[in-house]
Amino acid sequence: MGTSEQVEKDDATRAVMSWRIVLAVPIVLFILGMLLPTVGGPRSASRQATCQSNLRNLILALLSYEQQHGHYPLAISKAENGPPRSWRIEILPHLEYQALRDGYDEDQPWSSPANLNIAGTHVPLFQCPSASASAGNSKYFTTNYVLITGPNTAFPDDKPISWSDITDGSSNTIIMLEINDSDIAWTEPRDLTIDEAIALFNRPESIRKKNPTSHKGGRMVAFADGHVDFAPENTPPEVLRALFTINDGIAVSLDSAR
């Protein structure tokens, strides 16, 4: 075979290979497009499972505190003539963070220089992995888990209650829930009232699209008996109110909202 014929043959071969590459690229991109949601799905499920585990560990810590002291901690405690402090500080020994509890100065506010080093310590159990842990604040880490507080809840403002005071049934009473886009420092003595929690579930559609939940379609909630469930974002207010209160005589379940 002559040199010119060989060159022509090589050019033809390269042309065929080029066309094969051109045709293959869209196919590869299509396959990748089909695979990416599949990859993202397990990641989202993993984050939700971690969030569920965090809530369960926090509830178990509260139950451990209740068994030791005979009652739950107050949502907001204070030493005599001292500043308020969060229940999250009180349960640290039950989460194996005794050193952090020992380092917290009860005579100083949570945001004081004396306690900001505690607020600036990352405790992963207080953050949902789908949310930002700092919410744009470099001084402290935020929390995505809050108690339901106020009259007729497991955490009234005036006195601590025990597990036996939950007469509606511990499996029918939500005492903690997950919130997204939180600005609450994990050491900050701030949670949600019943009305504030209900408002989270009944937001206008425009606000839902602008600020979606960390887990699509709802949020994680924890019950007094230690189990964790997923509450749809459109759960009716009357169902939520019955679930948030401990002694209204109304026993409902989340199944009625699904």
Q: What is the pLDDT of residues 50-94, one digit of tens each?
A: 999 999 999 999 999 999 999 999 999 987 888 999 999 999 999
pLDDT, average across residues 105-112: 95
234 within some domain: yes
Say what the pLDDT of residue 205 is: 66
How far apart, in whole angstroms, are the C-alpha atoms of residue 258 and residue 255? Answer: 5
Domain contains 33: no
Predicted pLDDT of residue 16: 41
**Residues 16, 11: Cα–Cα separation, whole Å:** 9
**Continuous segment of H or E residues that includes residue 116:** helix 113-119
The position carrying tokens 């919410």 is 135
What is the distance between the alpha carbons of residues 75 and 64, in angstroms, rounded to a whole number?
Answer: 16
Percentage of the chain modeled with pLDDT above 70: 75
Asked if residue 24 is part of any domain, the answer here is no
Q: Give the pLDDT confidence score for residue 37 in this predicted structure.
A: 42
Note down the domain range covering 82.
43-257
Confidence (pLDDT) at 79: 78
Q: Which SS3 state, helix, strand or coil, does residue 88 take?
A: helix
Q: Are 104 and 85 in contact (CB under 8 A)?
A: yes
pLDDT at 258: 67
Of 140, 155, 148, residue with least CA distance to 55? 148
Q: pLDDT averaged over the chain?
A: 82
| pLDDT the model gives residue 188 | 97
Alpha carbon dihedral 135, 140, 146, 149, in 10-degree steps, equals: -120
With cut-offs at 50, 70 and 90, classify the pLDDT of residue 132.
low
If one compares 257 and 154, the residue with the highest pLDDT of the two is: 154
Count up the domains in the chain and report the number.
1
The pLDDT of residue 140 is above 60: yes
Q: Residue 181 falls within a domain, yes or no?
A: yes
Q: pLDDT digits over 30-44, tens only?
A: 443 444 344 345 667
CB within 8 Å of 114: residues ≥ 6 apart: 105, 108
Q: pLDDT band at 134, cuts 50/70/90? A: low
- In a domain? residue 13: no
- Report if residue 74 sits inside a domain: yes
- The answer to whether residue 37 sits within a structural domain is no
Q: What is the mean pLDDT of residues 237-254?
A: 90
Residue 190 lies in a domain: yes
Is pLDDT of 218 > 80?
yes
The residue type at 223: F
Split at pLDDT 50, 70, 90, the class of 209 is: low
**pLDDT (0 to 100) of residue 221:** 96
The residue with greater pLDDT, 122 or 251, is 122
